[in-house]
Chain A
């Protein structure tokens, strides 16, 4: 135990003094999490992957605009912003905010729009109820509702937002038409009946016509249920933070294979391994000390990345990292992922002949495993063939398990298969390393 402790202490001391190694272990994943999360957050904004904040400039300040606004809010995916830094937004500042890329859409409600819509509705209803051929007057001109949008916004997303606005406007128009219809219908009926029957009777009939309720005008009769048609279980899609924080943290964890394999190779090349193996200490103790030291470092590294996800990224305008409700599962996934990475590092350090081989192959293999594992592009966005290949990447197991907890609210039972796979990977790589070392020791090759 004392020898194990000595080895852990030595490894930690060596790591502390290895600035390049620390840079790889801490700064690289931190920078990747920050940069990729922010970039993807921006991409998601332009494609509608996040909730959309719309600037709303109301020059009319009348009741019908409130109907449009309320209807837009009811859609749920649109957030209406009417003030910036405590100041009411005007058309100029709204346009500037769009040009600066701070917002993607701005709706301008022109002055007099309520009055114009009402007049137009009255005109239309009056014309539709009239039995006479009323001479055609000029149609009342209703000002347009203007939408400014960020040119980087993708066409499909733009259409979706414009459709939402169309629906809100249509809903407002129906409501207004129905209101005027219910107001004009009795008068029109009264007029017709008076002309045809006794005036006393007709008035009585008209009084008995019930007032029309307007509630139904906004109510959909048929609902639309959206369901993503994924081949696997991607019921809930992660936000850029939920995707990137665990993804790049795992990438950082697996990148320890480079310094770890490098340390093993240097020990071998510098005669250190020769010296250590002639000492009264087992190879297992030496390897365990190394593994435990790197596990500790990776735990610190993960906490560091979590702090970025929890505090730094939200400060820069992204959503906060949600970590689900099973901390034990998170710890288990983390430990098994770290063990898988350390096992791979030891295997690489044992088999590779030179530091250059290990660093080159280690880095490239981790990048490939990360790409396949959904670190760079989420697995659900990959072609079906790649999704099937990704099932062989340890990073995919780790990431899927983290997303099960962070996004899909899973528990330890949900992620048990992934944990088992990661631990099996660790055991497998350690067995390969041990058998390779044993063969070298026995045969000298």
Chain B
């Protein structure tokens, strides 16, 4: 092993996530869903993965969170090759899906208890984590109520609580604030900022550009499976003529025509 290779591996290990030349071609599809995507997420960073509908965001999240195998390319999470060692990678990551991925007939606490056990948490440690997670999302008092009785905002917060329960080093958030009230949305954004301060790295997808502008220190805008802009949001805005916000930049990059 050369010194240069060792140096590169150390660099990769320091990164929360590194995706290189990731290609995904679905069977029967003529065009790739992802076509040479490159992403690099630093530790403790909130990274925005933006793009119009059908750009490949969900495919990218699915591959990076070990749900799908890439056709080509490599992905590492804290230096672990997730294609070769998915089980090792899974111990470091957590996913907050766009859907309310909770059992509606169980209470919030029962849901978290089950997920906690799957992460290997037990007894007092498990109960403490449940308590911390519920408190963080403001559901400490409602933890023993069944999820189906919750409002939309409460469900979203409980969904987030399930994602942070294991104290993941890398958290994937797939539109975590979609369709909820302003207060819950504001609370979720505040809590994500808090998590960032504790060193949790995040990959964040959203259609709300102001959220990405507020939260993310780096973003990538993808379209047709390829990266079309990458960097610090403010720098990207400043670099692009006629853009005063991320929303402007997004339209400038992807156009205003509706994508279905």
* Alpha-carbon gap, A274 to B97, bound state (A): 7
B208 / chain A contacts, CB cutoff of 8 Å: none
Question: Does B120 contact A271, Cβ atoms closer than 8 Å?
Answer: no
Min CB distance, B176 to chain A, in Å?
12
Q: Is B114 an interface residue (CB 8 A)?
A: yes
* Alpha-carbon gap, A110 to B226, bound state (A): 103
Determine, out of A10-18, A38-46, A354-362, A373-381, the stretch whose residues face the partner at the interface. Answer: A10-18
Determine, out of B22-30, B36-44, B178-186, B192-200, the stretch whose residues face the partner at the interface. Answer: B22-30
* A270 with B95, Cβ < 8 A, contacts A14-B106, A441-B68, A442-B69 known: no
Q: Is B65 an interface residue (CB 8 A)?
A: yes
Question: Does A278 contact B93, Cβ atoms closer than 8 Å?
Answer: yes
Chain A residues numbered 21-52 whose CB sits less than 8 Å from any CB in chain B: none
Which residue of A279, A441, A442 is within 8 Å of B115 (Cβ)? A279
* Alpha-carbon gap, A14 to B104, bound state (A): 9
Contact with A along B54-85 (1 / 0, CB 8 A): 00000100100111110000000000000000
A391 / chain B contacts, CB cutoff of 8 Å: none
* Alpha-carbon gap, A13 to B111, bound state (A): 11
Question: Does B106 contact A10, Cβ atoms closer than 8 Å?
Answer: yes
* Alpha-carbon gap, A276 to B114, bound state (A): 10
* Alpha-carbon gap, A18 to B106, bound state (A): 10
Question: Does B28 contact A276, Cβ atoms closer than 8 Å?
Answer: no
Q: Is A6 an interface residue (CB 8 A)?
A: yes
Which residue of B27, B67, B115 is within 8 Å of A277 (Cβ)? B67
Question: Does B69 contact A17, Cβ atoms closer than 8 Å?
Answer: no
Question: Does A274 contact B95, Cβ atoms closer than 8 Å?
Answer: yes
Question: Does A444 contact B24, Cβ atoms closer than 8 Å?
Answer: yes
Q: Is B94 an interface residue (CB 8 A)?
A: yes
B69 / chain A contacts, CB cutoff of 8 Å: 441-442
B100 / chain A contacts, CB cutoff of 8 Å: 270-271
Contact with B along A267-301 (1 / 0, CB 8 A): 00111101111111110000000000000000000
Closest to B163 in A: A275
A3 / chain B contacts, CB cutoff of 8 Å: 117-118, 120
B91 / chain A contacts, CB cutoff of 8 Å: 280
Question: Does B120 contact A441, Cβ atoms closer than 8 Å?
Answer: no
Question: Does A6 contact B27, Cβ atoms closer than 8 Å?
Answer: no
Question: Does B101 contact A6, Cβ atoms closer than 8 Å?
Answer: no
Classify chain A: how many residues form its interface, as a range. Answer: 20 to 34
Question: Does B105 contact A444, Cβ atoms closer than 8 Å?
Answer: no
Number of A-B contacts (CB under 8 A): 90
* A17 with B105, Cβ < 8 A, contacts A275-B95, A279-B90 known: yes
Which residue of B94, B99, B105, B114 is within 8 Å of A271 (Cβ)? B99
Classify chain B: how many residues form its interface, as a range. Answer: 35 or more
Min CB distance, B6 to chain A, in Å?
28
* Alpha-carbon gap, A278 to B91, bound state (A): 9
Closest to B166 in A: A279
Closest to B114 in A: A10
**Residue among B115, B118, B120, B122 with most chain A CB within 10 A:** B118
Q: Is B102 an interface residue (CB 8 A)?
A: yes
* A280 with B119, Cβ < 8 A, contacts A10-B106, A441-B68, A445-B28 known: yes
* Alpha-carbon gap, A272 to B99, bound state (A): 8
A279 / chain B contacts, CB cutoff of 8 Å: 90, 94, 115, 118-119
Q: Is the interface of A mostly helix, strand, loop or mixed?
A: helix
Q: Is B254 an interface residue (CB 8 A)?
A: no
* Alpha-carbon gap, A247 to B12, bound state (A): 62
Q: Is B164 an interface residue (CB 8 A)?
A: no
Which residue of A14, A18, A278, A443 is within 8 Å of B67 (Cβ)? A278
Q: Is A216 an interface residue (CB 8 A)?
A: no
* Alpha-carbon gap, A3 to B114, bound state (A): 9
Question: Does B67 contact A445, Cβ atoms closer than 8 Å?
Answer: no
Q: Is A2 an interface residue (CB 8 A)?
A: yes
A280 / chain B contacts, CB cutoff of 8 Å: 87, 90-91, 118-120
Question: Does A281 contact B118, Cβ atoms closer than 8 Å?
Answer: yes
B59 / chain A contacts, CB cutoff of 8 Å: 444
Question: Does B103 contact A443, Cβ atoms closer than 8 Å?
Answer: no
Q: Is B162 an interface residue (CB 8 A)?
A: yes
Closest to A19 in B: B105
B99 / chain A contacts, CB cutoff of 8 Å: 269-272, 274
Closest to B71 in A: A443
B24 / chain A contacts, CB cutoff of 8 Å: 444
Q: Is B98 an interface residue (CB 8 A)?
A: yes
Question: Does A443 contact B106, Cβ atoms closer than 8 Å?
Answer: no
Question: Does B67 contact A13, Cβ atoms closer than 8 Å?
Answer: no
* Alpha-carbon gap, A10 to B113, bound state (A): 9
Which residue of A6, A10, A269 is within 8 Å of B103 (Cβ)? A10
Q: Is B110 an interface residue (CB 8 A)?
A: yes
A7 / chain B contacts, CB cutoff of 8 Å: 114, 118
Min CB distance, B126 to chain A, in Å?
10
A270 / chain B contacts, CB cutoff of 8 Å: 99-102
Chain A residues numbered 402-445 whose CB sits less than 8 Å from any CB in chain B: 441-445
Min CB distance, A420 to chain B, in Å?
35
Which residue of B26, B65, B95, B118 is within 8 Å of A444 (Cβ)? B26
13 residue pairs of the A-B complex, CB under 8 angstroms, read: A6-B118, A7-B114, A9-B114, A17-B106, A270-B101, A271-B99, A271-B101, A274-B67, A275-B115, A278-B67, A279-B115, A280-B87, A441-B69
The 10 closest A-B pairs by CB, nearest first: A271-B99, A6-B117, A271-B97, A271-B101, A275-B101, A17-B105, A280-B90, A278-B95, A443-B27, A10-B114
Residues of B participating in the A interface, judged by any CB pair closer than 8 Å: 24, 26-28, 33, 59, 62, 65-69, 87, 90-91, 93-95, 97-103, 105-106, 110, 114-115, 117-120, 122, 162, 172
Residues of A participating in the B interface, judged by any CB pair closer than 8 Å: 2-3, 5-7, 9-10, 13-14, 17-18, 269-272, 274-282, 441-445
Q: Apart from A270-B101, A275-B115, list 17 A-B contacts with CB within 8 A.
A: A2-B117, A5-B117, A7-B114, A10-B106, A10-B114, A14-B103, A269-B99, A270-B100, A271-B97, A272-B102, A272-B103, A277-B66, A278-B67, A441-B68, A443-B27, A444-B24, A444-B59
